Amino acid sequence: WNIMKYLGITSAFILLFAFSTYTLIAQKAATDLRCEYLQNPIGIGVEQPRLSWMIPSEPEKKNIKQSAYQIQVASSIDNLEKSKRLIWDSERVNSEQSTHVTYPGELTARTRYYWRVRTWDQDNQESPWSEPAYWEMGLLHAGNWSADWIKPGHSEDPKIANPAPLMRKEFTLDRNIAKARLYVTSHGLYHAEINGEEVTEDLFTPGWTSFAKRLQYQTYDVTALLQRGDNAIGISLGDGWYRGKFGFSSGWNLYGEELALLAQLEVEYTNGKKEVIGSDATWKSSTGPIRMTGIYDGEVYDARMERPGWSKVGYDTGDWSTVKTTDISKEKLIEPRGVPVRKKEILEPKKIFTTPAGEMVVDMGQNMVGWVEITFDGNAGDTVSIYHAEVLDKDGNFYTENLREAEQRMQYILKGDGPQTFAPQFTFQGFQFIKLEGLDALPDPSSIKGVAVYSDMEQTGTFECGVPLLNQLQSNIQWGQRGNFLDVPTDCPQRDERMGWTGDAQAFAPTACYNFHTAAFYTKWLGDVAVDQKDNGAIPFVVPNVLGDNAVGSTGWGDVATILPWTMYLKYGDVRILEEQFETMSGWVDFLDNLAGENHLVQDGFHFGDWLFFIHPTEWNAKPGYSDVDFLATAFFGYSTHLVVEASKVLGKSSETAKYQSLLTEIKSAFQEEFVTKKGRLSPHSQTAYTLALAFDLLKEDQQENAVRYLVKNIESRDFHLSTGFLGTPHLCRVLSDRGYTDVAYKLLLQESYPSWLYPVTRGATTIWERWDGIKPDGSFQTTAMNSFNHYAYGAIGDWMYSVTTGIQDDPKNPGYKHIFLRPHPSKELQYANASHKSLYGTIHSSWKIEGDQVTFNFVVPPNTTAVIEIPQNGINPAQGVDRYEVGSGSYTYEIAVQ
C-alpha cells in the first residue's frame, strides 16, 4: 500500500481497476446464435429471417439482463470482424430482445450472410462480439432454376414396387473451385453422391409435404467433394411416400406413377466465373442392388447387382439408358423450414435368443424407429430376411399381427465376397425385436447395431424423480416422440399407417415442446396444415392429407389448427407463426360456426370423439367412460374460438377480436343451456366431460367447484383409475391441480393397474402405447385392427410432470419463457423431482427433495429472464398457501419445514 501511495496510485484507482477486471471477466459473448431457430442454416427461404442468441449463464451472478444489443451483418467473416463494408449494422438498440430479432434488409438468392452480436447488460457493461454465425439464402424463386426435371429412361411397371433407379452424369471443371452448391429435390426420395462420397447425412429427403402443393428442395455445400478436372454425380431414387404402397387401402401412386429428379449443381471458380451442371437429357439411368423399397414393406437388396463406382468418374455406362426430361412445374418448390431426419442413437442388442417357436430373435431393448445395420457372411445367392416387431406374445414368440398389411421386412441377398454390412436406404421400421431367417446360427451381438432415426431436434427437456416407474414413463414419452417425429408428427411408425394424425399432434404439442426443440419441425408441418385446409375451413384428419377430401372436419383433430400455433407462441414467443397461421386458425373456427348453425352447438358432421376412452372388457355395451360427441365437439368449438380471440389480440386485430369474442359468448351460453345444470352437473357425467369443461373455461364461476367435485368423485369411484381417451387425458391432471386436487392427480399418475399411465410400464413398455390395454392383464393382445405400441398421444402427461410436479410454466403475458413461473407441487411418494428445460433464453431448472421433515427447493433462472417462484408454505401443498418471490436470473435455494 505504501509503495502504491509513493507511485501515486489511489484506492479509487485500485477499485476502478478491480471493477474493470471483474467486468472483463464477467461479461461474456453471446452464444447459441440462431437464424429461424437453426444454427448456420443453408438454403433458407424466409425473406426477413429472425435472429436469436443467448446471454451466457453466470452462476455467481444474479439478475443478469440484456439492456441493449448490436448486430452486424457482412458478406464475409473478414469484413465482419473488421466492421467494414457491412451489409447491415443495427448500431446500438436499447432493448432486452434477444429472440426473433428481424433482419430488415433485402436478401439475395444464393448469398451467404455472416453475422455477429454484442450486448450490454443491466449495468451498461459491454460484452465482446460473439463468434460469427451465418445463414445462406436458397434459390428463392422458380426462375432461379435452370435444370430440367428428369425421369429414368428405362421402363417401369407403375402397379408394383420397382427397383430403385440410379441416375448419373460426369462433368469437367476446368478451373480452381471457390465454392459449390447442390440444389436438389425429387418425386420420391433421393440419395446423392459426388465422386463416390455421400453428399449429406440427411435421410428421407426431400421430406414429406403435401406434394401437389408444396415440394421441398435442399441445398448442400459440396465444395469439398469436387475437384478440378473430371467429376461425377450419382443420385438414387426411392418410392417413399410419393408412389410407394401407402395409405389404408395399401394403394400405390398416391401422388404420381413416376419418380423424377431435379438437381442443379452451381460452381463458382476462384476467378469469379460460374458454371451450372443441371439435370438434363445428358444424364444416364439404370437400376442397382435395391430391387424393392417401400415405407411399409421395407427393402430387398441384392448385393450381386451392386455397381461399384457408379457415382465415380470413369464408370462404364454402356448398358445404361438415357433419361427422359419432363415438364414439371417449379412453382411449388419451397425451401425447407424444418430440420432433417438423421441417424441419432446407436443401440447394441440386449439379447439374442431362440423363441419357443424356434425363431431366431434379437431384442434391442428399446422400441425404436429406424433399422438394424447387420453384417453377414455367406455364399453368393444366400438370402437373409429380417422381420421387425414391437413385442413378443405371452408365450415369448415373435408377434406381428398388429402390423396389419405392413411387412416390415428387409431382405438381403449376399454376393459371396466375404462379410458385408447391410442397412436400408429408403425405409424405416418401428421395432424392438427383429427375427432373422436364413442364418445357420445365432449371430454374434457385435454384428448387429440398432440405428434410431428421427428429425434432428435438440433435446431440451429432462425429468427425473424418486419413482423408477415414472422415470421409465418419461423415457417412454421421449422415445415415443423420437420415433414419431420423423419429418411429420405421425401417429405410429410400424403398421400400415404412419400418418400425420392431427388429433395426436394437438394433444401432445405442449409435452413435445418441453422435451425437444420442436419449433422448426412444427413450422414446416403447419405449412402443410394450412395448404391442406379445405376452402370451407375444414382441417383433414391427417396432414399431409392422404385419406381424401371427405376425411376432414373432426373436432379435437382439426383443432390442431388453433392449438399448435398457440402452443408455439407460448413456448417460443413466436408471433410470426400466429401471423402465418391466423387465416387457418380463424378458417377452422368459421367452419365449425357454419357447422353449428344458429344454436351454436356442433351436432353435425363426423367426429372421432374421446378416442380410445376406457371401456372395461366385460362391459362393452356400458361404455363407462363415454362422452357424447356433440358435447366434445362443442367444447372444442369454444376452445378454438377462445384461442382465435387470444391470437387476434396478440396480432392487434381488433375487429377479429370483437367478432370472435362475441361468438365465444354465444357458444358458452349455448353450451350452458344444453349440457350444464345450474349447480354444475354435466351431461355427459364423465371424466372427460368435466375435464374439458373446466380446462376450456366453459363453466360459470359458481359451477366450477361442484364440477371438479363430480370429477374427483368419479375418479374415486374407480379406485383412482382414469377413463379418459385422446381428448380428455391431456388435460385431466392439470385440471385437478389447478383446482387444488394435486393429491388426486398424483394418485392417478402413480396408479399401476389398468387403466393407467404406469400399467404399460409394468408390462415392459419402452414407448407409449396407443391403448391403455394394448397388452391385457392376462397377457393377450387388444384387437389387431388397431394396437400400436409406439403411439405418443397418452404421453401428453409429460406436460403435467414438467409444469406441475416441478412447476416449470410459461407466462402467456410474456411468452417464450421471457417470464417464468416456477410452481412445484412436491409429493412424498416421489421423494424428489428434478427437471430442466432449455428455452430460447437458456436452461430453466427446478428441483425439490424431501428429506425427513424438510423440503429443499433449487431453481435456476436463465439470463435475460425473470421468474416468480412459489413455494408451498407447508413444504408440500400449494393449495394451503405459498410464499411468492419475484426474482431475476441466477440460482436460488429454499429450505422449508414440512408441516
Distance in angstroms (rounded) separating the CA atoms of residues 611 and 497: 17
| Burial degree of 711 (CB within 10 A; 0-12, 13-18, 19+) | buried
Cell 455467481, located at residue: 60
Side-by-side strand order, sheet with 461-465: 461-465, 832-839, 842-851, 854-861, 890-897
Determine the 3-state secondary structure of 635 from DSSP: helix
The dihedrals phi and psi of 291, each to the nearest 5 degrees, come to: -90, -20
What is d(CA 199, CA 192) in angstroms, rounded to the nearest whole number?
6
- Comparing C-alpha atoms, which of 412, 467, 401 is closest to residue 439? 412
Local structure of 176: helix, strand or coil = coil
Using CA atoms, how far apart are residues 485 and 368, in angstroms rounded to an integer? 12
3-state secondary structure 566-631: HHHHHHHCCHHHHHHHHHHHHHHHHHHHHHHHHHCCCCCCCCCCCCCCCCCCCCCCCCCCCCCHHH
Catalytic residue among 170, 266, 299, 497: 497
Question: Checking phi first, is residue 371 left (phi over 0); if not, alpha (psi -120 to 50) or beta?
Answer: beta
User: Residue 383 corresponds to which cell in the numbers above?
Assistant: 438370402
- B/e letters for 740-750, b = 16+ CB within 10 Å, e = fewer, are ebbbbbbbbbb
The number of angstroms, rounded, from the C-alpha of 830 to the middle of its chain's C-alpha atoms is 29
Q: Which residues contact 10 (CB under 8 A, 6 or more apart)?
A: none
**Which residues, 6 or more positions from 1, have their beta carbon under 8 angstroms from its beta carbon?**
none
Q: Based on the residue annotation, tell me whether 458 is a catalytic residue of this protein.
A: no
Catalogue the E-assigned strands of 773-876. Answer: 808-810, 819-822, 832-839, 842-851, 854-861, 866-872
Task: Let me know if 131 is a catalytic residue.
Answer: no
Distances (CA, A) of 366 to 159, 430, 694: 36, 10, 37
C-alpha cell at 576: 410470426
Distance CA 470, CA 473 (A): 5
Q: Three-state SS for 232?
A: strand
102 DSSP β-pair partners: 50
DSSP state of 754: S
CA dist 510 and 733 (Å) reads 14
**CA atoms of 767 and 452, how far apart (whole Å):** 13
With contact defined as beta carbons under 8 Å apart, do 263 and 163 qualify? no
| Residues 6 or more apart whose Cβ sits within 8 Å of residue 517 | 37, 457, 458, 459, 460, 838
Please choose, from the candidates 200, 564, 523, 505, the residue with its C-alpha nearest in 3D space to the C-alpha of residue 335.
523
Q: What angle do CA 406, 403, 204 make, to 5 degrees?
A: 50
DSSP lists the bridge partners of residue 187 as 260
Q: Report CA-CA distances (Å) from 529 to 447, 505, 605, 754.
A: 42, 11, 20, 35
Half-sphere exposure of 264 (CA within 13 A, CB side): 20
Spot the catalytic one: 193, 299, 407, 770. 770
- Is the peptide bond between 544 and the residue preceding it cis, with omega within 30 degrees of 0? yes
Where in the sequence numbering do the catalytic residues fall?
497, 770
